[in-house]
């Protein structure tokens, strides 16, 4: 009986070890920017709880990836959460920063996000993001610009097999919504 118990314990330990290693090397939820999603008045359909949780987590991860990408000037840090026009613009921004020797640092203090549209077929969701960001632009080690202000973004997210993607991220004026 003891050998069977020992083998079972070893099997469980090995399974837990493998499961831990197969987890993505991403950051913990505690280090993600704070995103609060408000979807009470969304139309034409309501968001299911699990969908809301995925949108919130993927959007927070996308902002962390964006911040890491523009600080290191490496598009490989986007981790596929950006697609379409949003990814094209970020890729262009990184190329422009590299060419001019600049980098941008974001200190993200959170996002108050309102879901305003969720298509009947579940194929897209439009969000209005009121973000609290500190932005610093560096030329080498010298800071040449700094801004701490609320920023507003109009966001289009679309679902994939296991996540939601940022398809469009448009900065809009503070009086837009």
CATH number for position 145: 3.10.450.50
Q: Are strands 102-118 and 35-38 parallel, antiparallel or unpaired?
A: parallel
Q: What is the pTM (predicted TM-score) of this model?
A: 0.81
Total domain count for the chain?
1
The pLDDT tens digits of the residues spanning 85-130 come to: 999 999 999 999 999 999 999 999 999 999 999 999 999 999 999 9
145 assigned to some structural domain: yes
58 assigned to some structural domain: yes
25 assigned to some structural domain: no
79 assigned to some structural domain: yes
81 assigned to some structural domain: yes
18 assigned to some structural domain: no
pLDDT band at 78 (very low <50, low <70, confident <90, very high): confident
Domain that holds residue 163: 31-171
Q: Which residues, at least 6 apart from 22, have a Cβ–Cβ distance to it below 8 Å?
A: none
The pLDDT tens digits of the residues spanning 2-37 come to: 443 333 333 333 333 333 333 333 345 559 999 999
154 assigned to some structural domain: yes
146 assigned to some structural domain: yes
The pLDDT tens digits of the residues spanning 152-172 come to: 999 999 999 999 999 999 999
- The total of other beta-carbon atoms located within 10 Å of residue 67's CB is 19
pLDDT of residue 177: 85
């Amino acid at each position: 009986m003891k050998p069977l118990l020992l083998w079972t314990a070893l099997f469980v330990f090995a399974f837990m070890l493998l499961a831990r290693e197969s987890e993505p090397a991403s950051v913990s939820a505690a280090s993600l920017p704070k995103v609060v999603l408000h979807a009470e008045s969304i139309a034409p359909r309501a968001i299911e709880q699990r969908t809301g949780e995925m949108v919130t987590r993927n959007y927070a991860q996308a902002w962390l990836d964006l911040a890491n990408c523009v600080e290191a000037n490496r598009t490989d840090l986007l981790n596929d959460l950006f697609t379409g026009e949003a990814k094209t613009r970020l890729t262009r921004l990184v190329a422009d920063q590299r060419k001019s020797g600049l980098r941008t640092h974001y200190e993200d203090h959170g996002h108050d996000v309102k879901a305003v549209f969720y298509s009947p077929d579940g194929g897209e969701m439009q969000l209005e993001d009121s973000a609290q960001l500190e932005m610093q632009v560096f030329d080498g080690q010298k800071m040449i610009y700094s801004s701490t202000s609320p920023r507003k973004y109009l966001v289009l997210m679309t679902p994939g097999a296991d996540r939601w993607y940022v398809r469009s991220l448009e900065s809009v004026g503070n009086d837009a919504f």
